[in-house]
Amino acid sequence: MTSLTDNSSRVALVTGATGLLGSHIAEQLRRRGFPVRAVCRAGSDTAFLRGIGVDIFAGDLSDAASLRRACEGVDCVYHAAARVGDWGPWRDFVEVSIEGTRRLLDAAVEARVRRFLHISSISVYGHLDGEGRVFDESAPIGQNLYRWSYYSRAKVEAERLVWEAHRAGRVSVTVVRPSWMYGQRDRASLPRLIDSIRRGKLRLMGDGGNRLNLVNAANVGEACVLAGNSERAVGEAYNCSHDGAITQASFFNRVSEALGAAPIQRRIAYPVARSAAFAFECVGHLLGLKRPPLITRYSVWLMGRRCFFECQKLRTQLGWSSTINYQEGIPAAVQSYLAHEGAAAAPGARIGEAA
């Protein structure tokens, strides 16, 4: 059996490596000396991955044969790929997030992979809320999901597939559930947030004093590598859901400050925003719109909820801590985006847990 301290021979496979979290997982693995493979679709921008020495495997979650080839000789799979966003046809979420996970699991089992590290989301718990309520990993998943919250529903089903494989003894599983992520190489939520601030369209949901579950993607990447290489983490799920205390207003205004813009003053009542979002969703589905509506209930919940998701288990059991705090992380992420401004945001992406 290969020693867990001999990283140079322990190949790691990362899916979703061209995305926000996947790229940070690959980066953290390379820093620790792991050989890294990335399954990437044709036409993907792989410049960053190639620059840090990642082996690019042409493939897709819809192509079982490519996944089997990619898993050969792999020690740990880090499955970060998913259909991201809170809009689009259900069949797309099924094909990528659910069936794609099923195919990857089968390939990992066939290749006798040591560990399957699955990236889930805190949204699998459901759209919970309530002033002062705090949830941890003991909360059941799949509760109170909005009818059209396809991202969350697909994440629930994908995670259930992973746990079924673990309970059946097919592969050893660890699950990490990130929250709303930001950071360098964010092509989804941060660009939309910056655009809203520049156009003067951003409003606080409620009074802006609610705590956000916000975490830097680099910190989540560290948590994933830590969990993927800990025997203590086998069969466990871990929230990776904040880097400390930050309110909605504080986050938005830190971004505004980094842009040289004025603080966010305009507000909308949380119930009003949720009702408006539901109306937008109904119209969008009735008309079969391909583009997402102005706002959805998922994004309203993400920004305005009064409950909080804790990640003490990750800290206690695995010794994880946030390397990058909000004070340095937020302006660095904004400056990184501004330096590469002009790159298109991910199609259909919305502010959310981009796992």
**Does a structural domain hold residue 276?**
no
pLDDT at residue number 5: 59
**Does a structural domain hold residue 178?**
yes
Q: Which residues contact 6 (CB under 8 A, 6 or more apart)?
A: none
**Does a structural domain hold residue 293?**
no
What's the token pair of residue 80? 């970060």
Backbone angles phi, psi at 247, to 5 degrees: -90, 165
pLDDT at residue number 133: 95
Percent of the chain clearing pLDDT 90 (strictly above): 86
Question: For the chain, what is the mean pLDDT?
Answer: 92
**Does a structural domain hold residue 237?**
yes
pLDDT at residue number 327: 97
pLDDT at residue number 9: 80
pLDDT at residue number 86: 83
pLDDT tens figures, 203-214: 999 999 999 999
81: nearest Cα among 109, 59, 52, 54: 59
Answer whether residue 329 shows pLDDT above 50.
yes
pLDDT band, very low/low/confident/very high, at 147 (cuts 50, 70, 90): confident
Q: Which residues contact 86 (CB under 8 A, 6 or more apart)?
A: 149, 150, 151, 292, 296, 298, 299, 350, 352
Class of residue 94 by CB neighbours under 10 A (exposed 0-12, middle 13-18, buried 19+): middle
**Does a structural domain hold residue 269?**
no
- The pTM score is 0.92
Q: How many domains does the chain contain in total?
A: 1
pLDDT tens figures, 280-312: 999 999 999 988 888 899 999 999 999 999 999
Over residues 158-179, the mean pLDDT reads 98
Answer whether residue 2 shows pLDDT above 90.
no
Give me the domain span that covers residue 41: 7-185+213-244+308-324
pLDDT tens figures, 235-260: 999 999 999 999 999 999 999 999 99
**Does a structural domain hold residue 102?**
yes
**Does a structural domain hold residue 232?**
yes
Integer Cα distance of 122 and 135 in angstroms? 10
Lowest mean pLDDT among 51-55, 136-140, 192-196, 328-332: 192-196
List the CATH number of the domain containing 102.
Answer: 3.40.50.720
**Does a structural domain hold residue 91?**
yes
pLDDT band, very low/low/confident/very high, at 142 (cuts 50, 70, 90): very high
| 3-class DSSP string for the chain | CCCCCCHHHCEEEEECCCCHHHHHHHHHHHHCCCCEEEEECCCCCCHHHHHCCCEEEECCCCCHHHHHHHHCCEEEEEECCCCCCCCCCHHHHHHHHHHHHHHHHHHHHHCCCCEEEEECCHHHHCCCCCCCCEECCCCCCCCCCCCCCHHHHHHHHHHHHHHHHHHCCCCEEEEEEECEEECCCCCCHHHHHHHHHHCCCCCEECCCCCECCEEEHHHHHHHHHHHHCCHHHCCCEEEECCCCCCEHHHHHHHHHHHHCCCCCCCEECHHHHHHHHHHHHHHHHHHCCCCCCCCCHHHHHHHHCCCEECCHHHHHHHCCCCCCCHHHHHHHHHHHHHHCECECCCCCCCCCCCC
Answer whether residue 352 shows pLDDT above 90.
no
Answer whether residue 4 shows pLDDT above 90.
no
pLDDT at residue number 8: 76
pLDDT at residue number 188: 85
pLDDT at residue number 342: 53
208: nearest Cα among 270, 295, 145, 147: 270
